[in-house]
Structure 1
Amino acid sequence: MEALFYVVPTLMIAMAVFALVRILRRSREVRSAWNGGLTAEARCLRSYTTTSGGGQTSVSTTLHHVYEFTTREGRSVRFEESSGPATIVEGDIVTVHYTPEHPERATAHAPARGKLAAEAGCVVAFFGVFIAGCVTFMVVAHLMFSAADEILP
């Protein structure tokens, strides 16, 4: 029973760290694409939504777009991006930013470095508080179990 107070928060911390790493990695990829200096005209091949939640939780909808463009070297690249503008529909032409090393990590988001930095900072702050709360819970649980062991032989 006592292990439950350590295992569950540890798993929650692991999931938080995994999510944090994925979000920060994508943020770095988008910043690199903006700084890469290469742009191309891409066609939106498909747009669709996904939903999550429901039941007793609120429903969240995410808009996804699938784009295809040709690099300067003539390579055809197709990529998918979430949270794009709702005004882009199938067949629209958009400007994408990419790096020559990894054109598959392109982005159709317009450069907004301040917004990207603010989003990354908020994500780090949120997950930092979440992880600190999990660690605090484990420390308090440990202290309570240690005190109970001293009182009860």
Structure 2
Amino acid sequence: MEALFYVIPLLMIALAVFGAVSVVRRSRQVSGAWSGGLTAEATCLRTYTTTGGGGESMVHTTMHHVYEFTTREGRAVRFDEANGPSTTVQGDLVTVYYAADHPEQATAHAPAPGKLAAGTGCLLTFFGVFILFCLGFMLMVHGVFSVADDFLHS
């Protein structure tokens, strides 16, 4: 039974680390696309939404866009991007930013490095606090079990 108080927080920490790595990876991709120096005109092929939550948690909706563009080398690239503007609809032409070596990691988001850094920093802070909370919980539980063990053996 005592192991559950260590295993569950460790699993939660693993999920938080995975989330932090994902946030950093996407931030680097977007930053690389902006600094890649290449742009192209893309067509919005379709839009769709996904929803999450419900029950006892708040429902949230995410707008997705599927874009297609042609690189300078003539390669057709299609990508899906979340959190785009709701004013972009199927058939619209938008400017996409990409790096020559990774055109599949393009973005239609206009360059905003400060906003990207702030968002990434906030999410990493959240994950860090969450991990510290889990570690603190594990230390507290360890202390409680140590005190109880000492009490039972005295």
Which residue identity lines up with residue 66 of structure 1 in the other structure? V
Within-5 A mapping of 1:35-46: 35-46=35-46
Structure that is richer in strand per residue: 2
Within-5 A mapping of 1:126-145: 126-145=126-145
- State the Cα distance separating 1:56 from its structure 2 match: 1.3
Which residue identity lines up with residue 118 of structure 2 in the other structure? A
Unaligned runs of 5+ in 1: none
1:66-106 CA-to-partner distances (Å, cap 9, x unmatched) read: 00000000000000000000000000000000001010000
Runs of 4+ in 1 over 2 A off after TM superposition: none
Within-5 A mapping of 1:57-72: 57-72=57-72
Distance 2:117 2:27 in 1: 8
Aligned residue pairs total 153
Identity level (%): 66
- State the Cα distance separating 1:55 from its structure 2 match: 1.2
Question: Equivalent residue for 2:50?
Answer: 50
Which residue identity lines up with residue 121 of structure 2 in the other structure? G
TM-score normalised to structure 1 length: 0.99
Matched residue SS, 2:107: coil
Which residue identity lines up with residue 113 of structure 2 in the other structure? R
Question: Equivalent residue for 1:116?
Answer: 116
Q: CA RMSD in A?
A: 0.5
Within-5 A mapping of 1:76-95: 76-95=76-95
Matched residue SS, 1:29: helix
Matched residue SS, 1:90: coil
Unaligned runs of 5+ in 2: none
Distance 1:72 1:104 in 2: 13
1:14-55 CA-to-partner distances (Å, cap 9, x unmatched) read: 000001101110000000000000000000000000001111
Which residue identity lines up with residue 129 of structure 2 in the other structure? V
Question: Equivalent residue for 1:5?
Answer: 5
